[in-house]
Amino acid sequence: MSFTAVTLKLLEGFGTTCLIFFITLVASLPLGLVVCFGSMSRFKPLRWLTRAFIWVIRGTPLMLQVIIVFYVPGLAFGIPMQSRMAAVLAAFIINYAAYFSEIYRGGIESIPKGQYEAGQVLGMTDREIFFRVVLLQVIKRIVPPMGNEIITLVKDTSLARVIAVSELIQAAQNIVKQYALLWPLFYTGVFYLLFSGLLTLALRALEKKLDYYKG
Protein backbone atom coordinates (compact mmCIF):
# COMPACT_ATOMS: atom_id res chain seq x y z
CA MET A 1 0.00 0.00 0.00
CA SER A 2 1.53 3.33 -1.06
CA PHE A 3 2.27 6.27 1.20
CA THR A 4 -0.39 8.34 -0.58
CA ALA A 5 -3.04 5.65 -0.15
CA VAL A 6 -2.21 5.30 3.55
CA THR A 7 -2.38 9.07 3.99
CA LEU A 8 -5.81 9.22 2.35
CA LYS A 9 -7.11 6.42 4.59
CA LEU A 10 -5.76 8.13 7.68
CA LEU A 11 -7.26 11.44 6.61
CA GLU A 12 -10.68 9.78 6.65
CA GLY A 13 -10.11 8.70 10.24
CA PHE A 14 -8.68 12.12 11.07
CA GLY A 15 -11.90 13.70 9.84
CA THR A 16 -13.80 11.69 12.47
CA THR A 17 -11.21 12.69 15.07
CA CYS A 18 -11.77 16.36 14.24
CA LEU A 19 -15.55 15.92 14.35
CA ILE A 20 -15.39 14.38 17.84
CA PHE A 21 -13.02 17.11 18.98
CA PHE A 22 -15.00 20.11 17.76
CA ILE A 23 -18.46 18.87 18.77
CA THR A 24 -17.18 17.93 22.22
CA LEU A 25 -15.53 21.30 22.67
CA VAL A 26 -18.49 23.36 21.45
CA ALA A 27 -20.96 21.46 23.64
CA SER A 28 -18.88 20.92 26.79
CA LEU A 29 -17.67 24.51 27.23
CA PRO A 30 -21.15 26.00 27.93
CA LEU A 31 -22.34 22.83 29.69
CA GLY A 32 -19.31 23.03 31.97
CA LEU A 33 -20.36 26.54 33.01
CA VAL A 34 -23.84 25.26 33.88
CA VAL A 35 -22.32 22.43 35.94
CA CYS A 36 -20.01 24.97 37.60
CA PHE A 37 -22.96 27.11 38.71
CA GLY A 38 -24.59 23.98 40.10
CA SER A 39 -21.49 23.07 42.11
CA MET A 40 -21.39 26.63 43.51
CA SER A 41 -25.13 26.87 44.19
CA ARG A 42 -26.34 28.05 47.57
CA PHE A 43 -28.98 25.30 47.40
CA LYS A 44 -27.13 22.52 49.22
CA PRO A 45 -28.85 19.47 47.65
CA LEU A 46 -28.06 20.78 44.16
CA ARG A 47 -24.50 21.61 45.15
CA TRP A 48 -23.90 18.16 46.69
CA LEU A 49 -25.51 16.36 43.76
CA THR A 50 -23.45 18.31 41.22
CA ARG A 51 -20.20 17.79 43.11
CA ALA A 52 -20.94 14.05 43.44
CA PHE A 53 -21.49 13.94 39.68
CA ILE A 54 -18.17 15.70 39.06
CA TRP A 55 -16.39 13.34 41.48
CA VAL A 56 -17.72 10.26 39.69
CA ILE A 57 -16.89 11.55 36.21
CA ARG A 58 -13.40 12.72 37.14
CA GLY A 59 -12.71 9.58 39.15
CA THR A 60 -13.47 7.04 36.43
CA PRO A 61 -11.71 6.47 33.08
CA LEU A 62 -13.20 8.08 29.98
CA MET A 63 -12.90 4.75 28.18
CA LEU A 64 -15.17 3.14 30.78
CA GLN A 65 -17.65 6.00 30.42
CA VAL A 66 -17.81 5.48 26.65
CA ILE A 67 -18.51 1.78 27.17
CA ILE A 68 -21.20 2.52 29.78
CA VAL A 69 -22.98 5.08 27.59
CA PHE A 70 -23.01 2.71 24.62
CA TYR A 71 -23.90 -0.60 26.30
CA VAL A 72 -25.81 0.15 29.53
CA PRO A 73 -29.01 1.60 27.95
CA GLY A 74 -29.47 -1.64 26.02
CA LEU A 75 -28.51 -3.98 28.87
CA ALA A 76 -30.41 -2.18 31.64
CA PHE A 77 -33.41 -0.70 29.85
CA GLY A 78 -33.68 -2.63 26.60
CA ILE A 79 -33.06 0.55 24.60
CA PRO A 80 -29.78 0.02 22.73
CA MET A 81 -27.87 2.99 21.40
CA GLN A 82 -28.48 3.26 17.66
CA SER A 83 -25.38 5.33 16.95
CA ARG A 84 -21.85 4.62 18.12
CA MET A 85 -20.85 8.17 17.32
CA ALA A 86 -23.69 9.55 19.46
CA ALA A 87 -22.51 7.39 22.38
CA VAL A 88 -18.95 8.66 21.99
CA LEU A 89 -20.06 12.28 21.81
CA ALA A 90 -22.35 11.95 24.84
CA ALA A 91 -19.57 10.40 26.95
CA PHE A 92 -16.98 12.93 25.82
CA ILE A 93 -19.25 15.94 26.37
CA ILE A 94 -20.25 14.83 29.87
CA ASN A 95 -16.64 14.05 30.80
CA TYR A 96 -15.17 17.31 29.58
CA ALA A 97 -18.04 19.38 30.97
CA ALA A 98 -17.12 18.02 34.42
CA TYR A 99 -13.45 18.93 33.99
CA PHE A 100 -14.20 22.35 32.53
CA SER A 101 -16.62 23.08 35.38
CA GLU A 102 -13.82 22.73 37.91
CA ILE A 103 -11.61 25.05 35.88
CA TYR A 104 -14.43 27.60 35.74
CA ARG A 105 -15.01 27.25 39.48
CA GLY A 106 -11.33 27.79 40.24
CA GLY A 107 -11.26 30.89 38.04
CA ILE A 108 -14.40 32.39 39.58
CA GLU A 109 -13.30 31.71 43.14
CA SER A 110 -9.90 33.30 42.45
CA ILE A 111 -11.51 36.71 41.98
CA PRO A 112 -11.26 38.77 45.20
CA LYS A 113 -14.57 39.16 47.03
CA GLY A 114 -13.89 42.88 47.24
CA GLN A 115 -14.74 43.22 43.55
CA TYR A 116 -18.19 41.75 44.14
CA GLU A 117 -18.70 44.05 47.11
CA ALA A 118 -17.58 47.07 45.09
CA GLY A 119 -20.09 46.21 42.37
CA GLN A 120 -22.87 45.90 44.93
CA VAL A 121 -21.96 49.31 46.37
CA LEU A 122 -22.33 50.75 42.85
CA GLY A 123 -25.82 49.29 42.65
CA MET A 124 -24.99 46.52 40.16
CA THR A 125 -26.93 43.27 40.19
CA ASP A 126 -25.15 39.92 40.63
CA ARG A 127 -25.61 39.25 36.91
CA GLU A 128 -24.07 42.61 35.95
CA ILE A 129 -21.15 42.09 38.33
CA PHE A 130 -20.42 38.67 36.83
CA PHE A 131 -20.63 39.64 33.17
CA ARG A 132 -19.16 43.16 33.37
CA VAL A 133 -16.55 42.81 36.10
CA VAL A 134 -15.68 39.19 36.75
CA LEU A 135 -16.02 37.33 33.45
CA LEU A 136 -13.08 38.83 31.53
CA GLN A 137 -10.77 38.30 34.49
CA VAL A 138 -11.93 34.71 34.80
CA ILE A 139 -11.34 34.07 31.09
CA LYS A 140 -7.78 35.34 31.34
CA ARG A 141 -7.04 33.13 34.34
CA ILE A 142 -8.54 29.94 32.96
CA VAL A 143 -7.02 30.00 29.47
CA PRO A 144 -3.81 28.08 30.45
CA PRO A 145 -5.54 25.20 32.31
CA MET A 146 -8.32 25.16 29.73
CA GLY A 147 -5.69 24.90 27.01
CA ASN A 148 -4.19 21.85 28.70
CA GLU A 149 -7.58 20.11 28.72
CA ILE A 150 -8.19 21.02 25.08
CA ILE A 151 -4.85 19.50 24.03
CA THR A 152 -5.71 16.41 26.08
CA LEU A 153 -9.03 16.17 24.24
CA VAL A 154 -7.17 15.88 20.93
CA LYS A 155 -5.46 12.72 22.18
CA ASP A 156 -8.49 11.36 24.03
CA THR A 157 -10.43 11.15 20.77
CA SER A 158 -8.49 7.92 20.14
CA LEU A 159 -10.60 6.29 22.87
CA ALA A 160 -13.57 6.29 20.49
CA ARG A 161 -12.12 3.15 18.94
CA VAL A 162 -13.13 1.16 22.03
CA ILE A 163 -16.64 0.88 20.52
CA ALA A 164 -15.32 0.63 16.94
CA VAL A 165 -15.72 4.25 15.87
CA SER A 166 -13.24 4.64 13.03
CA GLU A 167 -11.19 7.60 14.17
CA LEU A 168 -7.50 8.11 13.34
CA ILE A 169 -5.96 5.30 15.42
CA GLN A 170 -8.69 2.84 14.41
CA ALA A 171 -8.07 3.68 10.75
CA ALA A 172 -4.36 2.97 11.24
CA GLN A 173 -5.08 -0.31 13.03
CA ASN A 174 -7.31 -1.40 10.17
CA ILE A 175 -4.42 -0.82 7.75
CA VAL A 176 -2.06 -2.75 10.03
CA LYS A 177 -4.44 -5.74 10.13
CA GLN A 178 -5.28 -5.69 6.43
CA TYR A 179 -1.87 -5.01 4.91
CA ALA A 180 0.53 -6.09 7.70
CA LEU A 181 2.14 -2.64 7.73
CA LEU A 182 3.21 -1.25 11.09
CA TRP A 183 4.46 2.20 10.10
CA PRO A 184 0.98 3.76 9.51
CA LEU A 185 0.35 3.43 13.27
CA PHE A 186 3.41 5.57 14.00
CA TYR A 187 2.48 7.92 11.15
CA THR A 188 -0.67 8.92 13.07
CA GLY A 189 1.63 10.78 15.49
CA VAL A 190 2.27 13.35 12.76
CA PHE A 191 -1.44 14.16 12.57
CA TYR A 192 -1.75 14.55 16.34
CA LEU A 193 1.40 16.68 16.55
CA LEU A 194 0.29 19.03 13.79
CA PHE A 195 -3.22 19.38 15.24
CA SER A 196 -1.89 19.97 18.76
CA GLY A 197 0.70 22.40 17.43
CA LEU A 198 -1.92 24.52 15.69
CA LEU A 199 -4.07 24.56 18.81
CA THR A 200 -1.06 25.54 20.94
CA LEU A 201 -0.32 28.49 18.66
CA ALA A 202 -3.96 29.59 18.77
CA LEU A 203 -4.08 29.35 22.57
CA ARG A 204 -0.84 31.31 22.93
CA ALA A 205 -2.24 34.00 20.65
CA LEU A 206 -5.33 34.17 22.86
CA GLU A 207 -3.21 34.45 26.01
CA LYS A 208 -1.19 37.23 24.40
CA LYS A 209 -4.36 39.06 23.42
CA LEU A 210 -5.60 38.90 26.99
CA ASP A 211 -2.33 40.29 28.37
CA TYR A 212 -3.79 43.79 28.23
CA TYR A 213 -5.19 42.99 31.67
CA LYS A 214 -2.41 42.44 34.17
CA GLY A 215 -4.51 41.81 37.26
Model pLDDT, residue 186: 94
pLDDT tens-place string over residues 13-64: 999 999 999 999 999 999 999 999 999 998 999 999 999 999 999 999 999 9
Answer whether residue 215 shows pLDDT above 60: no
Which residues have C-beta within 8 Å of that of residue 44, sequence separation ≥ 6?
none
Cβ–Cβ < 8 Å for 170, 9 = no
Question: pLDDT exceeding 90 applies to what percent of the chain?
Answer: 71
pLDDT at 51: 96
Secondary structure of the chain in HEC code, one letter for each residue: CCHHHHHHHHHHHHHHHHHHHHHHHHHHHHHHHHHHHHHCCCCHHHHHHHHHHHHHHHHCCHHHHHHHHHHHHHHHHCCCCCCHHHHHHHHHHHHHHHHHHHHHHHHHHCCCHHHHHHHHHCCCCHHHHHHHHHHHHHHHHHHHHHHHHHHHHHHHHHHHHHHCCCCHHHHHHHHHHHHCCCHHHHHHHHHHHHHHHHHHHHHHHHHHHHHHCCC
pLDDT of 115 strictly over 70: yes
pLDDT for 213 beyond 60: no
Whose CA is closest to 185, among 174, 196, 195, 199?
174
pLDDT tens string 146-155: 999 999 999 9
The rounded distance, in Å, linking the Cα atoms of 53 and 17 is: 27
Q: Is the pTM of this model over 0.75?
A: yes
Structural domain spans, the chain = 3-212
What are the pLDDT digits (tens) for 144-193?
Answer: 999 999 999 999 999 999 999 999 999 999 999 998 889 999 999 999 99
CATH architecture entry for 3-212:
Orthogonal Bundle (1.10)
